[in-house]
Structure 1
Amino acid sequence: MKKILIVFGIALTIIACKTEDKKTEIQDVEKEAVVYTSIGEEITADAAKSASDMAEAYKSMHVGDTINAKMIGKVDEVCQSKGCWMKVNLEDGNQIMVKFKDYGFFMPKDIAGKEIVINGKAYVNEVPVDELQHYAEDAGKSAEEIAAITEPKVTFSFEADGVLLKGE
């Protein structure tokens, strides 16, 4: 009987030690919270779609369709004039042209490659030639590149009311 109690005691001690290790791992993960800088309206990163999920949503949309959306993505490009638009990578070879609601806020010009969360309205838009040329000029493209834009383009667009910029 003593042997059974000793074996039982050792088993409980081992189990208790393993449980403690798991608690430490969970606490370490919780310490690694992501820090964001909020721009525009206050939003949270909760329930944000991935760029690939958003790409699938855009594929089912047509010119004129609009949906409320929140997504996480990486910035490809920002307006170098004043930060009034940005392009976000959809991870499928497409980009989203993001503008800001009522031009109520602008983005820093040096955030290409940074992770962001955007909240607002996703839509499919046909952009006229003059607007495409204006964006190319804002992006610092050459006169030849701007002159080469001669056709309107169907784009995936987004009107953001709030942006979270991931900290470092």
Structure 2
Amino acid sequence: MRILKGIIILWMSLFIFAGFAQTPPPLPHGTVFGIKPNDIGPIAAEQLEPSMAKKTRVTTAIRGKIIRVTKSKGGWFEIDGGKGKVIAAHFKNYNISLPKALRGRVVIIEGVAQKQFIADDMQHFAGDTVVGKKQHMVNANPKQRLAFEVRGLMVDK
């Protein structure tokens, strides 16, 4: 009788622990965060910088692969920009929380893309171009020169 009780307790604990060990379901195709982006004709993330040309800001929809979610609260994440470049993106609405499971998924995002500049980039327009020791010693990361303020995100693949 004592052995039977032990087997029953062992069997029940096995099912209880197996229930807690399950992984959450993956995000289904079409899951939307924020507003639903305009999915008609989004440009590839690799083509964003060339399509901006000399514009510093542009409102657009892009399609790209999420490298990682840096901060869930506020929706901070990074998208692969092609050729080793990274597009840093965050939601305009801070109340949006992104799951870490978005890593590696292809998404369509809509919002405002803008180029990031350092102080020396526009000094020649101001007429006070400095050289030598007074020159800024800040080296911007050439692989991360774009920021994207997202209004809406939809999981594509």
Give TM-score scaled by structure 1 length.
0.56
Q: Secondary structure at the match of 1:44?
A: coil
Query: Equivalent residue for 2:156?
Result: 166
How large is the Cα RMSD of the aligned pairs?
2.7
| Contact 2:68–2:78 (CA under 8 A) maintained in structure 1 | yes
Match status 1:114 vs 2:113: no
Corresponding position of 1:72: 63
* Alignment map for 1:55-66 (pairs within 5 Å): 55-58=49-52, 60-61=53-54, 65-66=56-57
Unmatched runs of 5 consecutive residues or more in structure 2: 1-27, 119-136
Q: Which moved more, 1:86-95 or 1:72-81?
A: 72-81
Equivalent in the alignment of 1:124: 115
Unaligned runs of 5+ in 1: 1-33, 128-149
| CA displacement at 1:83 relative to structure 2 | 6.0
The counterpart of 2:140, out of the listed 132, 153, 157, is: 153
Whole-angstrom CA distance in 2 between matches of 1:53 and 1:119: 15
Q: Is 2:96 aligned against 1:105?
A: yes
Would you say the 8 A contact 1:123–1:158 is kept in 2? yes
Contact kept, 8 Å, 2:74 with 2:94, in 1: the verdict is no
In 1, the alpha carbon distance for the partners of 2:149 and 2:139 equals 20
CA distance in 1, matches of 2:69, 2:138: 22
Q: Contact 1:55 / 1:92 at 8 angstroms: preserved in 2?
A: no
Residues 83 and 108 of structure 1 are in contact (CA less than 8 Å); yes or no, is this contact kept in structure 2?
Answer: no
1:89 aligns with 2:76: no
**Would you tell me which structure has more helix in proportion to its own residues?**
1
Q: Deviations over 1:13-40 (max 9, x none)?
A: xxxxxxxxxxxxxxxxxxxxx9311110
Q: Alignment partner of 2:50: what SS?
A: helix
